[in-house]
């Protein structure tokens, strides 16, 4: 039996030496049948050879590479128990090479929007280096982008269960020569460069937590699968642990919106504005919700609050104008329903003046929206129509030219 084991292991070694991975794989299968009778030293060597045969210098199938990773783990566990690390160093070198290869391929795949390959690559990097939990997060993000929600959910749940937050300290300093602030890999290299006077103004900054994003994505995947109970359960767990986390609060609101529960969404958004009153986006979203509910007065109030916080909020200007102009339709309908009596003519003039006032109220918001975003064709087209209705010929012609220029640019002409 011992002789047979040695022969099979030699057969694997010979095939690997000649880069004949098919034969090496075949010899591995034959040797594996004898593993039950191998001593620990022979098992350790076998695990290394098996990993090399299945990995095939990166040419192995996904299933083979997964098995190769497992074989390397088996080797390290075995030699750790033995207290004799004969093949562990070689296994670690192989692991490093595999990790670098997987990482390069995963990054390239993600850049090329091949998210399925990227997700698998990042997951393999994480499996081979479990301390680098960031790569499991990358795998989840790639799976969502694919979209492969089942795989993404598996990764996100793993991240949630391990308490992954993604928070890390970033070390910055300004390049003396270029004046640009740069991010260093670690504190020591940043401090060394500052000491060498190559950089100045060092500062440390913690990255934002990804907990809210992870829980939100878990919940939204559950919603997409029709499992609202699990979605709300995931949010409740996270909110319970982090009751003051504004990100989690907004995520829960988003889940309710996806479920069609606008009242609960509105309630949570209002709670969020109380916690973060200087957040223009929150005020804007409440404005959208109020407008959808037909409450124009409240919508205008929220949009104005958003603009008070961020005077350059283009969408808030757009939506303010839309809400104001919504009143035009009712005025025009009343004008069209009037007769030709003197009383009706008088009423017509009153309504016409009222419509003019609506236009005049909307114009500044539309002009500001177009000033902030010169390609805003909707704002330009609305202004063109308003100027036409008001009989302001020169402004109408100028805005018509503007609309034509924007459309031509958008079409590549």
Do residues 77 and 176 both lie within one domain?
Answer: no
Residue 211 lies in a domain: no
Q: Work out the burial of residue 379: count CB atoms within 10 Å of its CB; fewer than 13 is exposed, 13-18 middle, 19 or more buried.
A: buried
What does each C-alpha distance from 185 to 103, 155, 189, 323, 356 come to in angstroms? 17, 26, 7, 49, 61
Residue 255 lies in a domain: no
Do residues 10 and 141 both lie within one domain?
Answer: yes
Residue 288 lies in a domain: yes
Do residues 129 and 44 both lie within one domain?
Answer: yes
Residue 236 lies in a domain: no
Residue 90 lies in a domain: yes
Alpha carbon 371 to its chain centroid, in Å, reads 30
Residue 373 lies in a domain: yes
To the question of pTM greater than 0.75 for the whole model, the response is no
Do residues 288 and 191 both lie within one domain?
Answer: no
- What is the distance in angstroms between the CA of the first residue and the CA of the last residue of the chain? 79
Sign of CA dihedral 129, 134, 135, 136: positive
Do residues 283 and 387 both lie within one domain?
Answer: yes
Which of the listed residues 128, 160, 192 is the one where a domain comes to its end?
160
Q: Work out the burial of residue 41: count CB atoms within 10 Å of its CB; fewer than 13 is exposed, 13-18 middle, 19 or more buried.
A: middle
- Helix then strand then coil, in percent of the chain rounded to 5, is 75, 5, 20
Structural domains of the chain, count: 3
Largest CA-CA distance found in the chain, in angstroms, rounded: 117
According to the model, what pLDDT value does residue 413 have? 59
Do residues 304 and 387 both lie within one domain?
Answer: yes
Contact call for residues 152 and 140 (beta carbons, < 8 A):
yes
CATH number at residue 337: 1.25.40.10
Sign of CA dihedral 124, 130, 131, 137: positive
Q: Work out the burial of residue 124: count CB atoms within 10 Å of its CB; fewer than 13 is exposed, 13-18 middle, 19 or more buried.
A: buried
Residues with Cβ within 8 Å of 279's Cβ and at least 6 positions away in sequence, in order, are 246, 272, 273, 309
Residue 231 lies in a domain: no
Nearest-angstrom CA–CA distance, 314 and 86: 65
- Residue 337, both tokens: 């329903």
Contact call for residues 317 and 365 (beta carbons, < 8 A):
yes
Sign of CA dihedral 139, 141, 145, 151: positive
According to the model, what pLDDT value does residue 238 have? 77
**How many other CB atoms sit within 10 Å of the CB of residue 255?**
25
Do residues 8 and 52 both lie within one domain?
Answer: yes
Nearest-angstrom CA–CA distance, 177 and 183: 15
According to the model, what pLDDT value does residue 1 have? 47
Q: If residue 201 lies in a helix (H) or strand (E), which one and from where to where?
A: strand 199-206
Do residues 192 and 127 both lie within one domain?
Answer: no
Nearest-angstrom CA–CA distance, 387 and 402: 13
Q: What is the pLDDT along the chain (413 residues), one digit of tens a residue?
A: 455 567 888 999 999 999 999 999 999 998 888 888 888 999 999 999 999 999 999 999 989 999 999 999 999 999 999 998 999 999 999 999 999 999 999 999 999 999 999 999 999 999 988 999 999 999 999 999 999 999 999 999 999 999 999 998 999 999 999 999 999 989 999 999 999 999 999 999 998 888 888 988 898 898 888 888 888 888 887 777 777 778 778 878 878 888 888 888 888 888 888 888 899 988 998 888 888 878 889 899 999 999 999 999 999 999 999 999 988 888 888 888 888 888 988 998 899 999 999 999 999 999 999 999 999 999 999 999 999 999 999 999 999 999 999 998 877 65
Write phi, then psi, for 57 (nearest 5 degrees).
55, 35
Do residues 30 and 139 both lie within one domain?
Answer: yes
Do residues 95 and 22 both lie within one domain?
Answer: yes
Nearest-angstrom CA–CA distance, 299 and 309: 16
Residues with Cβ within 8 Å of 89's Cβ and at least 6 positions away in sequence, in order, are none
The parent domain of residue 84 ranges over 3-146+153-160
Do residues 136 and 188 both lie within one domain?
Answer: no
Nearest-angstrom CA–CA distance, 352 and 339: 15
**How many other CB atoms sit within 10 Å of the CB of residue 83?**
6
Residues with Cβ within 8 Å of 391's Cβ and at least 6 positions away in sequence, in order, are none
Nearest-angstrom CA–CA distance, 354 and 346: 12
Q: Which of 304, 301, 361, 298 shows the shortest CA–CA distance to 328? A: 361
Residue 46 lies in a domain: yes
Nearest-angstrom CA–CA distance, 209 and 247: 9
Nearest-angstrom CA–CA distance, 67 and 75: 12
Do residues 121 and 176 both lie within one domain?
Answer: no
């Amino acid at each position: 039996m011992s002789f047979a084991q040695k022969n099979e292991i030699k057969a694997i070694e010979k095939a690997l030496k000649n880069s004949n991975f098919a034969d090496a794989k075949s010899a591995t299968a034959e040797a594996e049948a004898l593993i039950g009778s191998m001593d620990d030293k022979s098992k350790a060597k076998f695990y290394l050879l098996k990993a090399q045969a299945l990995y095939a210098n990166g040419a192995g199938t996904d299933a083979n590479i997964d098995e190769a990773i497992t074989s390397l783990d088996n080797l390290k566990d075995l030699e750790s128990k033995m207290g004799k690390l004969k093949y562990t160093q070689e296994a670690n070198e192989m692991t490093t090479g595999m990790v670098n290869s997987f990482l390069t391929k995963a990054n390239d795949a993600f850049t090329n929007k091949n998210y399925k390959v990227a997700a698998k690559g990042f997951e393999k990097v994480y499996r081979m280096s479990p301390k680098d939990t960031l790569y499991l997060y990358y795998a989840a993000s790639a799976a969502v982008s694919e979209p492969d929600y089942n795989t993404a959910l598996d990764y996100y749940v793993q991240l949630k269960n391990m308490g992954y937050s993604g928070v890390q300290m970033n070390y910055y300093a300004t390049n003396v020569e270029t004046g640009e602030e740069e991010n260093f890999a670690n504190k020591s290299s940043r401090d060394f460069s500052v000491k060498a006077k190559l950089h100045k103004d060092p500062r440390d900054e913690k990255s934002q937590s990804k907990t809210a994003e992870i829980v939100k994505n878990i919940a939204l995947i559950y919603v997409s699968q029709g499992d609202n109970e699990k979605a709300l359960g995931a949010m409740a767990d996270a909110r319970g642990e982090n009751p003051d986390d504004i990100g989690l609060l907004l995520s829960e609101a988003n889940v309710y919106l996806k479920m069609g529960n606008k009242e609960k969404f509105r309630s949570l958004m209002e709670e969020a504005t109380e916690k973060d009153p200087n957040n223009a986006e929150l005020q804007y979203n409440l404005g959208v919700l109020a407008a959808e509910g037909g409450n124009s007065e409240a919508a205008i109030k929220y949009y104005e609050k958003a603009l008070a916080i961020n005077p350059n909020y283009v969408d808030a200007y757009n939506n303010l104008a839309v809400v104001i102009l919504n009143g035009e339709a009712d005025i025009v309908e009343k004008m069209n329903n009037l007769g030709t009596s003197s009383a009706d003519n008088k009423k017509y003039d009153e309504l016409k003046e009222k419509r003019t006032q609506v236009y005049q109220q909307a114009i500044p918001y539309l002009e500001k929206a177009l000033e902030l975003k010169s390609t805003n064709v909707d704002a330009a087209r609305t202004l063109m129509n308003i100027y036409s209705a008001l009989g302001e010929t020169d402004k109408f012609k100028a805005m018509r030219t503007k609309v034509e220029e924007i459309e031509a640019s958008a079409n590549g002409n």
